[in-house]
Each structure stands twice: as structure tokens, then as C-alpha cells.
Amino acid sequence: MTPIPHVIHLVISLAPGGLERLVVDWTNARNKRHPGSTLICCLDERGALASQVESNAVVCLGATRSRKPFDVVAVRNLRQLLSTLPSMTPTLTTQQPNNSTTVLHSHNAAAWQYGVLACLGKSIRHVHTEHGTNPHGKGLINRLRNAWLWRCTSEVVAVADPVAESLSQVQGVPGNRIRVIPNGIETVCRTREQGNEVRVKHGIPAGATVIGSVGRLAHVKGHDRLISAFSRMTTHNLILLLVGDGPERTNLERQARELRLSDRVIFAGYQANPWPYYSAMDLFILPSRSEGLSISLLEAMAAGTSVAVTDVGENRAVLDEGRAGTLLPGNEEEWVTIVTALLTDPLRDARVAIAKDRVRSHYSLDSTLQGYENLYS
């Protein structure tokens, strides 16, 4: 029998975010197939999403990453965890041969560095996945560090072609060392009735048209651009629904007040289950300044919600050059006309059908998991 590798996902935390939700879904799905095979290790803190990890398969190092050049105690504890993982997973080890290997799977830059340090001198495979195109390689010191990181890593993965290009051009990782494994989500049928419950919960008037977005409220996500454009939309009974939390929430709420939009912009906060919120929207907008492969975009498409997104990251490819949704120009002043037209677009249902089929055929959770399983083995 071929042994199933033990896998530790290494993340900064499980605070709400697309990357973190992916890791939770991957861990739960893999542990259902191979009980006790997969664990999540958080560097800093557990985070709100830790409660969604089944069988409590989460540990936290409590690292203080401000320590220079790194938190030695956290590295030591991670090395110890890598050594003791097989004894912590009795369900797996009673079903599999004793020679099961251990794979450390880090996600994004901070976790990558700690992962490499923890694996030094150990016969442990280290897979690293980069999820976004934000550059972490500017400056000589960062480029030298990145050169060391990729040389000490078994496999480097990008979630989309633009992310692979960023890894190569900005961070100096050779193109032939990068594999691309697209993100995938669980594609299950959703109902619009859940959306009606959301509308009632937040006091949205009957017959109102709702545009919205789901994601972390951070500058890179561009919600300030969306609020600015929304302020110039004069369509009667139009509501903006923002789902998520983050460092920019206070500034965004202030922006809405200053534009006299407080009665038309709803901040729903973080939602552990965002699916009903997609169903509450007539149009989902992703206004990001930078993206890798957006999970919220895939979810909106799978939920049967019409989508409009900025032309960054993998968005154009996900929408099949605009056949499955609308690509927004870089200038948000042009969004007003485009969005207003989309709300009465006669082709909207056709695009929604294409979008749902595209997620099922190209971005399923099963295909993503199989891609990584091939790597682990």
C-alpha cells in the first residue's frame, strides 16, 4: 500500500481571508478522505476560521515575527512539530505503513521563510504556494532572501499564471521551478431563498437592487473605489452590500458617511457562511487593485450571481475573456455607466449560466486537491 503523506499547512493565521478559507477547506476535505492526515499550523494566532477546522486539526506557535531576523523559539517549535506529527495522527498511522512521509506546505511569504528554516537538515518535503501578485521581492535584500528560499524548497506553486509571472519577474524564481495549480472551490447548488433572508435581516427594502462585494476590507481590495463609483449611481432604490471585515473598515465607513451614503451602504461584517450573501446580490463586483485567483469571484459565479471585476490577476482568464462576466476598466469613473447597464442587461442570465459551468469544469475543489496530491506523493 502506498503511504499517504502527512501534510502540515503553514499559515500566518486563520483570520478571515480567501487564502485561509482555502486552507480550511483543503484540510477538512483531505482529512475526510484520509483521517488524521492533515494539520494546520498558525504562526501568529489561530484566527476566527480555526473554529471551522474539523477534528480541531489546528495548532498555533504564537510566533513574534517582529523579532529579528526571526523568532527562534517559533522555528524550534515548528521543527519539533514536524518530527512528532506521525505520533499525533494515530488514525492515519494505524491504516498506513509506518514509512509515511511528512510534507510542509507553506502559504505566502512570511510562512515560506519559517517553513524553510524549520525544514533545514530534515528529510521533509516543503511545498510552497504563492496566492497573490503583491511583490515581496523588491530591493536587494529581499531578492537575496528569495533566492535562498526557492533553492531550499522542494516545489514552488502559483495559483494562477499572473502569480507565476510575479514570482519569476519580481521575486526571481526561475520559471521552470514554478508549477501552476489553480484554486478550486466546492461547487454545490445554492438557492435564492437564502438571499431573501439576508435582505430581510439587513432591512433591505423589497424591490431594491443590490450590488455587493465579499472580501477582506483592505486597500488592495479597492472597496473605496467601489463606494466612490456607487456615490454617482443614481438608479432608484440601489443598495451597496459589503461583506467582510479588515483594517480599512473604519475608513470606508467614514467615506460612506461623508458621501451621505450611510442609508444605502450596508457593512455586513465578516460572515462565516458568505453563500447566502451572494444570493442576495443582483450584481457582485470585485474592485481589487491586485489579485491572484479570487475565491470570492469563484463563489459568486458558482452561486449564480452576475459578476463584474477589475481586469487584474487571473480575473480575465476566470471570466473567459468576458464571456462569463464583465471586465471593468481601471478608471472607476467609467464603472457608473457600465454597472447601470449591467443591471438591465438582457444577456445577464446567459453569462451567469456560462459562469456556473466554468467554475464546475475549471475550478473545482476536487481538481485542486488532486493537483496537490500529485505533488505530495
**What are the pLDDT digits (tens) for 179-225?**
999 999 987 655 667 889 999 999 999 899 999 999 999 999 999 99
pTM of the model: 0.88
- To 10 degrees, what angle do helices 348-362 and 295-302 make? 120
pLDDT at 187: 76
pLDDT at 234: 84
Q: Around Cβ 362, how many Cβ atoms within 10 Å?
A: 14
Give yes or no for a contact between 284 and 343, defined as CB atoms under 8 angstroms apart: no
Q: What share of the chain is helix, strand, coil (3-state, %, to 5)?
A: 45, 20, 35
What's the average model confidence in pLDDT over 257-268? 96
**Residue 42, strand partner residues:** 11, 60
Q: Which residues contact 234 (CB under 8 A, 6 or more apart)?
A: none
Spatial distance between the Cα atoms of 185 and 87, rounded to a whole number of angstroms: 31
Say if residue 205 is preceded by a cis peptide, omega within 30 of 0: no
Band of the pLDDT at 228, cuts 50, 70, 90?
very high
Q: Distance between CA atoms of 83 and 86, rounded to whole angstroms?
A: 8
The span from the CA of 146 to the CA of 104, in Å, is: 18
Q: How distant, in Å, are the alpha carbons of 60, 95, 225 from that of 222?
A: 31, 48, 5
Residue 86 pLDDT greater than 90, yes or no: no
Residue 1 has pLDDT above 60, yes or no: no
pLDDT at res. 3: 77
pLDDT single digits (tens) 138-193: 677 777 888 899 999 999 999 999 999 989 988 889 999 999 999 999 876 556 67
Q: What is the mean pLDDT of the chain?
A: 90
DSSP string, 323-339: TSSEEEPS-GGGHHHHH
What is the pLDDT, as a whole number, of residue 190? 58
Residue percentage of the chain with pLDDT more than 70:
93
